């Protein structure tokens, strides 16, 4: 295998919000390489003059770490992987690098392929306020825990 690293995986503009400020800014995700069999993913976002960067063993974890940096500054990134009601399965993280998450539907016994969405995709425009679906990392973890408890 002759992969060149870092390898860009996502390079697009995403919506970020802070109070009444809404704007689209570049978001980039890379597979930086491997430390033995373990990959390192990097996510970068620049909502203002500050640049936020985080790394993790999968892209979702890197996004979580990035969000933990953004939250004290009041910023939220409006992507599927930051919704309160999404979380990746272990397989999505191990085999897919955390680039997909499941929408956790209340009362559903298990998540299905129809519930699988791209971690860094926009929330569909059919939502009245996509930013209203975004939560803090703690809220997302609580939603995940409640979903698992209700199964």
Q: Token digits for 107?
A: 């009362």
User: Which residue reads 């993790």 in tokens?
Assistant: 56
Please give the average per-residue pLDDT across 63-77, as a whole number: 96
Closest by CA to 44, choosing from 20, 63, 24, is: 63
Q: Which of 27, 13, 93 is nearest to 102 (CA)?
A: 93
| Rounded (5°) CA angle 24-29-31 | 175
Query: Is residue 2 situated within a structural domain?
Result: no
What domain range includes position 37?
A: 7-149
Number of domains forming the structure of the chain: 1
**11 lies in some domain:** yes
- Look at residue 1 and tell me whether its pLDDT is greater than 60: no
| Chain segment 20-45, per-residue pLDDT in tens | 999 999 999 999 999 888 999 999 99
Indicate if the pLDDT at residue 2 is higher than 60: no
- Tell me which residue has tokens 């689209």: 24
pLDDT digits (tens, 9 = 90+) for 104-149: 987 766 777 788 999 999 998 655 678 889 999 999 999 999 988 8
Both tokens of residue 39?
A: 């990959």
In this prediction the pTM is: 0.92
Tell me whether residue 66 is in a domain: yes
Residue 23 lies in a domain: yes
């Amino acid at each position: 295998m002759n992969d060149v690293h870092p390898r860009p995986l996502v390079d697009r503009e995403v919506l970020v919000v802070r109070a009444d400020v809404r704007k689209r800014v570049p978001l980039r995700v890379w597979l930086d390489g491997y430390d033995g069999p373990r990959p390192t993913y990097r996510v970068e976002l620049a909502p203002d003059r500050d640049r936020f960067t985080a790394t993790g063993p999968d892209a979702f974890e890197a996004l979580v770490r990035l969000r933990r940096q953004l939250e004290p500054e009041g910023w939220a990134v409006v992507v599927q992987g930051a919704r309160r009601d999404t979380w990746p399965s272990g397989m999505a993280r191990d085999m897919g690098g955390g680039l997909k998450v499941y929408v956790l539907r209340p009362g559903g016994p298990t998540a299905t392929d129809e519930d699988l969405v791209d971690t860094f995709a926009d929330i569909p425009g059919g939502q009245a306020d996509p930013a209203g679906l975004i939560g803090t990392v703690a809220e997302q973890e609580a939603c995940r825990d409640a979903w698992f408890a209700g199964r």
